[in-house]
Amino acid sequence: MFDNKIILVTGGTGSFGGVFVPTILEKYNPKKVIIFSRDEMKQWEMAKKFQGDDRVRFFIGDVRDKDRLYRAMTGVDYVVHAAATKIVPTAEYNPFECVKTNVMGAMNIIDACIDMGVKRVVALSTDKASSPINLYGATKLTSDKLFVAGNAYSGEHPSRFAVVRYGNVMGSRGSVIPFFNSIKDSGSVTITDPRMTRFMITLEEGVDLVIKAFEDMIGGEIYVKKIPSMNVIDLAKVVAPNAKHEIVGIRPGEKLHEQMIGEEDAPTTYEYDDYYKILPVINNWSDDANRIKTGKKVNSDFIYDSETNDEWMSHEELNTWLEKNKEKIGVL
């Protein structure tokens, strides 16, 4: 579906874009892939990787700047919205900046896509958007709601919006694995709480889910990948087996366990082979057969969180992944 199409990725120089862009270029033949981001140095570094491929273009801009978005989206068919202020403590201490990017930026994306005739938009979300306790999660929940409602807001326009929600991206910049990796030689690693669990997803799995969303969406769906959980103590034991554990306490805005689907979403959630789909309540779209397709409705008390998850990543599985991806950890 991406052949001869123009795709724009906001925040495209981040971890997601570093895998999504080469995947799209390899598996499809897009007319153009536009990287829209505000960091010129990251763009310069990324451009070197695609030197000689005139399908890849770079556009300096900020999702807070609606005029710049309008200019960038001229002729664009599909948009992946990956730009975000996402580090939890940073958001807690800089709430206004987080709201400007994650909420106002989402509104700008929706308006620009509708007015410029973009066909489909997939916005990246997070497990922190389900029953949020921190500002980052609250802004992403708001963003999710905006993109879902964008399908009604667009009226007669062809633009359609969907959301992809997933957990801790293994090995990505700023995540727990490169953090443990960076301090393991000191002889100790800091653990916030030994009970803490997290969902674990690879960048490749995240990219595959976004592509699946583009292919499957009618509009308003939230896609949730089925992924394993891991206890942070076990994670530390694998990444830094000889290091001592220093318990430092939970950081501002952190949860003990992450959640991707809350009980309040269960009545409109459907299960598929390797993912779940939360359907929108508005306009009775949760009962729409075109959106449900082959899905099986979950139980009314269903919760999908990292503590009660049925699937857990073993030490062996993580070790295998670490060995295979050791050159990429903390780079993307």
Q: Which of 257, 256, 280, 254 is nearest to 267 (CA)?
A: 280
* Amino acid occupying residue 39: D
CA dist., res. 315 & res. 319, Å (int): 6
Any bridge partners for residue 51, and if so which? none
> Is 128 among the residues known to form the active site?
yes
- Which of these is catalytic: 128, 140, 226, 255? 128
Residues 6+ apart with CB under 8 A from 312: 228, 229, 230
* Inter-residue contact 331 to 172 (CB < 8 Å): no
- DSSP-derived secondary structure for 118-136: --EEEEEEEGGGSS--SHH
* Inter-residue contact 208 to 293 (CB < 8 Å): no
* Inter-residue contact 235 to 180 (CB < 8 Å): yes
* Inter-residue contact 269 to 295 (CB < 8 Å): no
Q: Which residues are catalytic?
A: 128
